Chains A and B, each alone.
Chain A
């Protein structure tokens, strides 16, 4: 219980840290923050209003306190492209991003499990080595380029799947595959190392000696232990996944936070960009908190400590 409280407090500290850095980026830039926040087309009157709204002539500490106050109330400022509150914009786009990220995570875990079991079974053979070079190649490809290749071949040339947008569940398949494949081969490599190690341990040999079949041995005995360390990285991987989300959503016109951020970049809509940054950092912090708590729940060795 004490651990859980400490962990939650820690997550809050990290959140405070991320908002401090975001504040630093938005307010302490060289030049005129009012100009940055109000946008390049703002007139003198708007600039003056932004300046007094945000207390830009007050000391930094005061500005920071007010900034935090606004954040706690969920006020992330207004987009100067649409004049809508940034919080509303982000919340509207959140479900699409969550769907895509979860689907991609599912793809990644599936590829990871499959890849690791196959390469661990054939460890040291040409299959293992080919898989290594193939995964390094996939990890080296820019995700937006993979997306465009998928659109061109699967969507346009072979006409198997729709081209872009989000009007049906079928639209989810390509972006989820593209986004999840990189993380998937990365998981496969991690899991491969763990699995080879676990498969060499005494209890596996003992189980094999007792006559446990290969499939049951793999899934019931080896994989469960090999997967544990993987659980800890999934939370932090979400940060890397969010990078991919921005690029994948841009390529596939997927109406999520990433696409919103891209559109904000085109308009240099700083409040929206800052909101997207802060929201994704909060998602990462929340996810790694939950992963840590789940990890404690499923690994009895940690619980005992």
Chain B
């Protein structure tokens, strides 16, 4: 029962988050890149008409946050899809075909696991052209390993089940067995790791933005807003407080969903 609670809270939070991402430009009171405050170089504390204050360039923090929600959710979901696609492909292939294929793929996974994901992403972004697309691909490239390992171990146990053996005996090809018999059975696990990896990609993206190599300006990102606030955190703490809370909110949403789903799956009734 309790697990349902976390999952439901996560879903409610997620609806609000996606709402902010989709309707952000309508909800935002100002243009996120426009100078709207009367005085420059002096961030204004939260209060009407700038409910979350303004930054050092006189831009409205609330509007920037709402536009930032768009890019964070987009990067989170697309990079998660890239991560899941690579991870599932590697995990399925390694687990199902076994032998040499498994050995080679898992050794590559082991090598990738030795890299701190953020640093490898930094290196990749540094040599590539910075753009939203680069961020999608780079985050996918550095974070598929965990997915591959989980999927592989699931497939390993499913491969020997009677219905799979029976399907094979009746002459079903590998593609059919994977698609019709294995994939539907690992779907619950995939949902959990998809939610987990979304929170992971949002955090990684925020980290990259914070280091100054995320989605390039003028698109406002939460990570870069925090980075820009570092020089002002003593006089204008709201500049880092709100974007950080926004990242926390988005990541927590997907962690709640993941954790709720995982516990639901383990419940005896399910």
| Chain A residues within 8 Å of B, Cβ to Cβ | 13-14, 17-18, 20-22, 25-26, 29-30, 36, 129, 133, 136-137, 139-142, 144-145, 148-149, 151-152, 156, 236, 239-240, 242-243, 245-247, 250-251, 261-262, 265-266, 268, 270, 273-274, 276-277, 280-281, 284-285, 288
**Contact: A242 with B244, CB < 8 Å?**
no
Task: Assess the B122–A17 pair: CB atoms within 8 A.
Answer: no
**Among the listed A145, A156, A240, A274, which residue makes an inter-chain contact with B248, where contact means beta carbons less than 8 Å apart?**
A145
**Contact present for B230 and A251 (CB under 8 Å):** yes
- CB <8 Å contact, A151 and B233: yes
Residue of chain A at shortest CB distance from B241: A149
Alpha-carbon gap, A12 to B58, bound state (A) = 54
Q: With A136-B255, A142-B206, A148-B233 in contact, do A274 and B247 touch (Cβ < 8 Å)?
A: no
Task: Known A142-B247, A145-B244, A148-B244; judge A137-B252 contact (CB<8 A).
Answer: yes
B114 close to A18 (CB less than 8 A): yes
B248 touches A277 (CB 8 A): no
**Residues of chain B lying within 8 A (CB to CB) of residue A139:** 255
Nearest to B239 among chain A residues (CB) is A148
CA distance A236 to B149 in the complex (A): 14
The residues of A that contact B251 with a CB separation of less than 8 Å are 140-142
**Given A140-B199, A144-B226, A145-B240, A236–B113 Cβ distance below 8 Å?**
yes
Q: How far in angstroms is the closest Cβ of chain B from A89?
A: 15
In the assembled complex, which residues on chain A have CB atoms less than 8 Å from the CB atom of B229?
148
The secondary-structure label for the interface of chain B is helix
Find the A residue at minimum CB distance from B199: A140
Give chain B's interface residues, CB within 8 Å of chain A: 2, 6, 107-108, 110-120, 122-124, 126-128, 199, 203, 206-207, 210-213, 223, 226, 229-230, 233-234, 237, 240-241, 243-244, 247-248, 251-252, 255-256, 259
Within 8 Å by CB of B111, from A14, A144, A148, lies A14
**B240 surroundings in chain A (CB, below 8 A):** 145, 148-149, 152
Report B268 CB to chain A, min CB distance, Å.
Answer: 16
Taking the nearest CB of chain A, how far is it from the CB of B76, in angstroms? Answer: 13
Closest approach, in angstroms, between the C-beta of A247 and any C-beta of chain B? 6
Nearest-Cβ distance from residue B42 to partner chain A, whole angstroms: 19
B111 to chain A, nearest CB (A): 3
Interface of A is mostly: helix
Which among A13, A156, A240, A243 is the interface contact of B234 at CB below 8 angstroms? A156
A25-B123, A242-B116, A246-B116 known; A136-B256 Cβ under 8 A: yes
Give min CB distance, A237 to chain B, whole Å. 11
Pairwise interchain contact B113-A239, C-beta atoms closer than 8 A: yes
Judge whether A152 and B124 touch: CB under 8 Å: no
Q: Which residues of A sit under 8 angstroms from B256, Cβ to Cβ?
A: 136
A166 to chain B, nearest CB (A): 18
What are 19 contact pairs spanning A and B, CB under 8 A?
A21-B111, A25-B120, A137-B252, A140-B251, A140-B252, A142-B203, A142-B226, A142-B248, A145-B226, A149-B240, A236-B113, A242-B116, A250-B210, A265-B126, A274-B123, A277-B122, A280-B116, A281-B115, A284-B115
Q: Which of A21, A26, A236 has the most CB of B within 10 A?
A: A21
Chain A nearest Cβ from B134, distance in angstroms: 11
- Of all chain B residues, which has the CB nearest A29? B127
Interchain CA distance A145-B223 in the complex, whole Å? 9
A265 CB to nearest chain B CB (Å): 5
| In contact, B126 and A142 (Cβ under 8 angstroms) | no
Set A13, A129, A140, A250: member contacting B211, Cβ < 8 A? A250
Tell me the bound Cα distance from A261 to B256 in angstroms: 33
A273 near B122 (CB under 8 angstroms)?
yes
Instruction: Looking at the assembled complex, report how far the CB atom of B39 sits from the nearest CB atom of chain A, in whole angstroms.
Output: 23
In the complex the two chains form, is B115's CB within 8 Å of A21's CB?
yes
Supplied contacts A17-B114, A141-B247, A156-B233, 4 more A-B pairs, CB within 8 Å: A14-B110, A25-B124, A26-B127, A140-B251
Closest Cβ neighbor of B9 among chain A residues: A133
A281 pairs with B114, CB closer than 8 A? yes
Most buried by A among B111, B116, B120: B116
Given the interface pairs A142-B247, A152-B233, A273-B126, the reply to whether A285 lies near B114 with Cβ below 8 Å is yes
